[in-house]
Structure 1
Amino acid sequence: MSEATPTTVPATPTPGPGGPGGEARAAILDRIRQALQDGPTPDPVERTYRRTSEAAPGDVVEQLVDRLVDYKAGVHREDLSTVADRVADLLGEGARYVVPPGLDPAWLPGDGQGRVRVTEPTTADAGALGVRELDGMDAVVTGSTVSCSETGTIFLTGRPEEGRRAISLVPDHHVCIVPLDTVVELFPEALARVEPTAAITMISGPSATSDIELERVEGVHGPRRLDVILLDR
């Protein structure tokens, strides 16, 4: 039996007709554009749904509170002078918790009462916590991008004060800080505040699902406990 000749594979793609950004890629995209130009004109899409809200800001916040409470989330109203104390109360004594690198330190308590804060690195390849390490954390504290009161949905988009998706999904307790000036009523309004290419995590209450007998089970796909701090800043 003859031995197989080993095949050498380049470590990284090389530029050129077959590589990323090469002539082949450009030719394919040009053909797609040409095909779209030669196709029929699409029918106009009527957008009769509401895209802007006329509700008062206070009413919008109250609607968000109503939705979050209905979803079994804890809701707390604080200002800049009390937010750190509230976070400390929610974390409890001796908690190990993770925070994203860009979260405002003024929103966080000190390391008293045995609490241990672990700050994520600014880049994923610089010692980011693995799944097992995140699972060993008691909680995570993050900010948020925008919240939609109509559906009770909080948007996280991976900004520095929110961190990568894993840190908001693996720990069992999520403390999410929602500034009042980021609360809108309608979904189109919320999407308008989100970068189109962002990796969006939408949170509507603690993670929950139902089994075949419709028994509610919490914490299957994310944090079992969600506390939302509405921050007047």
Structure 2
Amino acid sequence: MTSARDDILAKVRAALEGVEPAGPLPAPPTVHPVDDLVGRFAERVEDYRAVVTRCSSDEVAATVAAVLAGGSAVVPSGLGLDVPGAVVDDGGLSAADLDGIDAVVTAARVGVAETGTIVLDHAEDQGRRAISLVPDLHVCIVRADQVVADVPDAVALLDPQRPLTWISGPSATSDIELDRVEGVHGPRTLHVVLVDDEAVDLP
């Protein structure tokens, strides 16, 4: 007496009789490592409708000033960059106060090349979460040596005990008809100042 398994295998063998064996399977595609992580990061950030300006470390202050174009700004107390006319946040600014300020300038903890994501862990050079969410323009300074390949690499550098804000482009949402609206729950515009002293052709 044969089992159901034997019956199935017999039918498979019968169906395969006279069938020519397929050729060798094609080799899987070779995945090459990304040599230019910084370039990939910049490209991915721009895919999210954000703006990227690459500059050297000596040009950061002038680049930030050009981006702000005379508008008002708030900066965290530990930014370590002179932004003329900016208000230094000491934690006393309310949401209404921040809403009346044009821009915020912060540093970042890490940038992710594969996804174009920036992560803030709200250290002193990034400030509390509110200042990076309320003003309409977020100018975020990311150093080339902070860019990693992918999300697992970023997670390995982050302290899970700290508050983390993951930013992929300007704040945006869509309704049921997929009408995109920006600036609903965060800055309408993200401008990344990418500090890359090794860049050959700076814009």
Give the TM interval when normalised to the shorter protein. Answer: 0.7 to 0.9
2:34 match: 55
SS of aligned partner of 2:108 = coil
Residue number in structure 1 paired with 2:74: 98
The structure 2 residue matched to 1:228, chosen from 157, 173, 192, is: 192
1:40-98 C-alpha deviation (Å, 9 max, x unpaired): xxxxxxxxxxxxx9533xx21111111111100000001122111111111012x2110
Equivalent positions of 1:50-199 (< 5 A) are 54-56=33-35, 59-93=36-70, 95-105=71-81, 108-109=82-83, 111=84, 116-121=85-90, 124=91, 128-199=92-163
Q: Please list every run of 5 or more consecutive structure 2 residues that lacks an aligned counterpart in the other structure.
A: 1-31, 198-203
Amino acid at match of 1:198: R
2:194 maps to 1:217 = no
Q: Which amino acid aligns with 1:78?
A: C
Distance in 1 between the 2:54 and 2:128 partners? 25
- Kindly report the root-mean-square deviation, in angstroms, between the aligned alpha carbons of the 2 structures: 1.4
Secondary structure of the equivalent of 1:81?
helix
Larger-Rg structure: 2
SS of the residue corresponding to residue 153 of structure 2 reads helix
Q: Tell me the percent identity.
A: 50
Summarize deviations over 1:77-121 as a string: whole Å, max 9, x none: 01122111111111012x21100010012xx44x3xxxx210012
Q: Distance in 2 between matches of 1:182 and 1:212?
A: 37
Match of residue 37 from structure 1: none
Moved over 6 A (4+): none
Secondary structure of the 1:174 match is strand
